[in-house]
Structure 1
Amino acid sequence: MVTPLLTDLYQFSMAYAYWKAGKHLDRAVFDLYFRKSPFAGEFTVFGGLEECIRFIANFKFKEEEINFLRAALPTCEDGFFEYLSSIDCSDVEVYAIPEGSAVFPKVPLMIIEGPVAVVQLLETPFLSLVNYASLVTTNAARHRLVAGKPKNLLEFGLRRAQVGLTLFRFASFDSLSLTWTYEHMSIRGQMEESVHQDILIWEDLMQRDDKYSYSILEHVNQLEVIPKAVQCLSKQTFIIISNNLTFLPGQQCCSRKGLDEIIDKALSSSDGLNKCEDFVSLVQNWLVKIQNLWLVIYVQVFKICPYILLFRMLVHCVVPLARQIKVMRSGVPNFCAVALALNDMGYKAVGIRLDSGDLAYLSIETRKFFCAIEKEFGVVGFGKTNITASNDLNEETIDALNKQGHEVDSFGIGTYLVTCYAQAALGCVFKLVEINKQPRIKLSEDVTKVSIPCKKRCYRLYGKEGYPLVDIMTGQDEPSPKVGERILCRHPFIESKRAHVVPQHVEELLKCYWPGHSFEKDIDPNLYPLVNAEAVQREELPSLNENRSRCMRQLERMRPDHLRKLNPTPYKVRSITVKLDVTYLIPLHLNLTMHTRSARLLIR
């Protein structure tokens, strides 16, 4: 749980200054937004909202935290610490774009309104929670786009993630087929690590209770269960990611030993009606058939031990198998031998992982091998066995594989996804835009850093083809754009950039996720004449699956040229209405600019 101490000393210094000046209760509005889309792209996927709402819902300084602050800020008066111990976020309002939405620069992701000292203390935690989350969701979306919709994407990066389990919630927004989250509980005992780094995908959940989906977390030594409510696994699929696992309770590791070291060789069929007393011999018989048929002479018998042991350990959830030094002459034949033996017992193998070598070539050869097995032995569907590829995959390598041609069904993406290797940070900012109903602006010689003043409402306008045309910001008291009604959209700083738009669909972007006291009281019609009580009803936080669906729907509605990897067409953003420009932006900009120039002349 994030605590109020996850912040900078600067924020407490600002809060103390407000308190000391008697301005800590002034009503302030801040915008949280970013200035440029990451990864040289033209879109971002918003993440981190739920964590922000959970944070403010539990925002309260504990006694030990106040004592720590007293020691860290010895020059502050005791009254300030008494004030800190009394505050919470009950008087804060948070408006945000729904999590998982496609978003664009300058348009507020979140609008936070409340007592200025309290909201100031939210700046660093909110930026911390939103920056990384949005960067990962965007990175995952880009990998999904380059891989293609039919492919499965597996998240493989927990052991290299900087933010631990939080990562996987955001990775799953973009249809990563396998991910894990913090809502899990452990079952079954410990496993030891030994020989091969393998993956096997097996299907045996047809007859199981569909209440749970299963996965093994590759960074820990426990088998874990993930409730269906947060699952991101394909239905009826069990995926085991193992790091050299060959352990079976009551047995020694047999990484370099013979098959005779396996003590319990019996295996019951999937329906429980039959039992094979020597499953190892069944596997060996299939291996001999494969060797005789294709003259595979390199197969090492001891390499098959981990496969058999893992199956025996997880007999009701099915088995893992996979990569070895000689993939086509040992790894794939061993997999097929165990898979065919399991098929005799009523189990169905669904996949294998390739983790090294020429992935395009190996996937094609593996597919040929599977198809030959199906044709020769009449095992229906074996030729379509899932092939997963991993080994430091990123956008570029997946794109290269697509151009070369391959037979990979699933991609395991780790380091480049979770570390956002191509870009270290999103660069969100948190800017004051209004205080006590008076607009405020930040000026800069760099026009991209100039903020848009006043509390705003944001809309996305769609054209007749269903694609979004532009995101536009209006003043809080302006009427919303109407379908079929011509509206002038203009760039806030470049006069020549303007366009008339006739929207065929209008979507209001910001919704209230934390209404504060406004949820319990009537809205003042004099302050917000166009806002009624229903407008501030609290939006429920969506589930992970709902976020995921929203993300995919929004990306599908974007024009393809906005999403392409190389030189995407810029999306029209930073558009404002004429009233917002004339009423707030121009007067503030001119007034402050003139004061700044006068001050410079006086200094000279």
Structure 2
Amino acid sequence: SPLFPQVPFLQVKGPLLVVQLLETTLLCLVNYASLVATNAARFRLLAGPDVKLMEMGLRRAQGPDGALSASKYSYIGGFDCTSNILAGKLYGIPVRGTIAHSFIMSFRTLEEARPRELAPRAGGDPVDVAALAVSWLQRVCDLLQTPPGNANQGELAAFVSYAVTFPCDFQGLLDTYCVRRSGLPNFCAVALALHQLGYRAIGVRLDSGDLARQSKEIRRVFRACGAHFQVPWFGAIPIAVSNDISEQSLEEFRREGSEIDMIGIGTNLVTCPLQPSLGCVYKLVEVNGSPCLKLTEDEEKMTIPGMKTIYRLYDAAGHPFMDLMALEEEPSPSAGQELEIRVLGRLGETTKVIPSTVESLHRTYFRDGQVCEPLPSLPEVRTHAQVSLSLLSPAHCRLHEPQPYPV
């Protein structure tokens, strides 16, 4: 669930020595997890619901353990898939990936394409895909009015080799050389060759340059090829981008009206550069039934004494508008009941609210050394997180100058 400042999202009861020993472990488990899930949610809010987001942070993460945590919690935060194969195996997260520049650069001539023969999907004798792609390259270049000699033959060989090996999962990386003169014509040629044999390419990726502008140019070419060669699905081939994507990048994509369908984000997701650490704390609030209060000149560091129950209050439209902290012994609020409350940060002020719905946020999962309630699966946690975020008022979800959420 979305969590707001000052609200305790985890409460621990037990012998003082035992709960003190748990402090470091619990903070280690929740700080980075909450931080990267929140960062992922921010990217999802900016990207919108229709663009696919792929976590690609393994190479930039803080070690192998941090990389696995980033894959897991960015998935909860709203990402659709990961390039981390181990995370996919351990957690069941969908795994996606593309060709590397080094793979394409390892080919120099078309003769190096291996394998190069592929049987039609409907059955029949294998066909030389390299030769078929060359014939399609001429037709594509005629349509685009670009000389076929400009297309890099090593790149074409790499595309052919990958397409024959993975005919149902062919995705081309277009910017190893020149997108317009080489990468795009070579991809279209191989994709159309696959189509002739009954297979369908699944997309392209860009990793440099003006990604928004190039995506629009590529979409125009795909639509032109689809119309000219009578391949209706060709115009909708997904376009993916990467290259140090940040929140600012997503704002620019939206502002420029790009044709991007999928975005791979690594460094700026897993390292959380806008706030590298979360800073959650673990504070004593009650001992043997007596409330405890930490006094300090810094108001933000003052604890709120006593064991509390947390309620989320919803308005008539179904949006949460306030979180209510009440002592355990206080009666639970009810829907339609007028409540007199004090909002944190407004000392001395009281206000009255009438919630349409009241939700108790805390659940007990561990009691007397045993798990007492089934733990939700990762997909269930992800679904709950995304539904909870969707219920928030747009005013509270703005990434710039959001309306403060009252507690």
TM-score range, shorter chain: over 0.9
Name the structure 1 match of 2:155: 303
Contact 2:171 2:201 in 1 (8 A): no
Question: Cα–Cα, structure 1 residues 471 and 182, in superposed 2: closer, same or farther, change >3 Å?
Answer: farther
Tell me which of 358, 364, 387 is aligned to 2:239. Answer: 387
Question: Cα–Cα, structure 1 residues 506 and 353, in superposed 2: closer, same or farther, change >3 Å?
Answer: same
The residue type equivalent to 1:116 in the other structure is: L
Report the structure number with the largest CA radius of gyration. Answer: 1
Name the structure 2 match of 1:570: 404
Q: Aligned partners of 1:132 and 1:558: how far apart in 2?
A: 23
Secondary structure of 2:11's partner?
Answer: strand
Structural mapping, 1:387-536, within 5 Å = 387-491=239-343, 494-516=346-368
Please tell me whether residue 293 in structure 1 is matched to residue 143 in structure 2.
Answer: yes
The residue type equivalent to 1:293 in the other structure is: L
Secondary structure of 1:176's partner?
Answer: coil
Contact 2:191 2:200 in 1 (8 A): yes
Secondary structure of 2:75's partner?
Answer: helix
Structural mapping, 1:37-48, within 5 Å = none
Secondary structure of 1:428's partner?
Answer: coil
Question: Cα–Cα, structure 1 residues 183 and 112, in superposed 2: closer, same or farther, change >3 Å?
Answer: farther
The residue type equivalent to 1:243 in the other structure is: A
Q: Aligned partners of 2:127 and 2:94: how far apart in 1?
A: 37
The residue type equivalent to 2:399 in the other structure is: K
1:170 CA drift (Å): 0.2
Name the structure 2 match of 1:112: 12
Secondary structure of 2:6's partner?
Answer: coil
Q: Aligned partners of 2:234 and 2:249: how far apart in 1?
A: 27
Name the structure 1 match of 2:375: 541
Tell me which of 161, 164, 170 is aligned to 2:61. Answer: 161
Contact 1:459 1:507 in 2 (8 A): yes
1:455 CA drift (Å): 1.0
Query: How high is the sequence identity, in percent, across the aligned residues?
Result: 39
Q: Aligned partners of 2:85 and 2:204: how far apart in 1?
A: 27
Question: Cα–Cα, structure 1 residues 483 and 307, in superposed 2: closer, same or farther, change >3 Å?
Answer: same
Name the structure 2 match of 1:340: 192
Q: Aligned partners of 2:5 and 2:396: how far apart in 1?
A: 14
Question: Cα–Cα, structure 1 residues 116 and 244, in superposed 2: closer, same or farther, change >3 Å?
Answer: same
The residue type equivalent to 2:118 in the other structure is: L
CA RMSD of aligned residues (A): 2.0
Question: Cα–Cα, structure 1 residues 264 and 130, in superposed 2: closer, same or farther, change >3 Å?
Answer: closer
1:257 CA drift (Å): 2.5
1:183 CA drift (Å): 6.1
1:182 CA drift (Å): 7.8
* 5+ long unaligned stretches in structure 2: none
Please tell me whether residue 241 in structure 1 is matched to residue 98 in structure 2.
Answer: yes
User: How many residues end up aligned between the 2 structures?
Assistant: 401
Contact 1:169 1:180 in 2 (8 A): no
Tell me which of 193, 213, 221 is aligned to 1:361. Answer: 213
Structure with greater strand percent: 1
* Deviation per residue, 1:206-256 (Å, 9 max, x gap): xxxxxxxxxxxxxxxxxxx748x72346xxxxx43333454xxxxxx9834
Q: Aligned partners of 2:237 and 2:113: how far apart in 1?
A: 27
* 5+ long unaligned stretches in structure 1: 1-100, 185-224, 234-238, 247-252, 520-536, 574-604
Runs of 4+ aligned structure 1 residues displaced above 4 Å come to: 180-184
TM-score (norm 1): 0.64
Q: Aligned partners of 1:175 and 1:337: how far apart in 2?
A: 35
The residue type equivalent to 2:204 in the other structure is: I
Name the structure 1 match of 2:133: 283
Question: Cα–Cα, structure 1 residues 358 and 492, in superposed 2: closer, same or farther, change >3 Å?
Answer: closer
Question: Cα–Cα, structure 1 residues 387 and 551, in superposed 2: closer, same or farther, change >3 Å?
Answer: same
Q: Aligned partners of 1:134 and 1:438: how far apart in 2?
A: 30
Please tell me whether residue 262 in structure 1 is matched to residue 113 in structure 2.
Answer: yes
1:263 CA drift (Å): 5.0
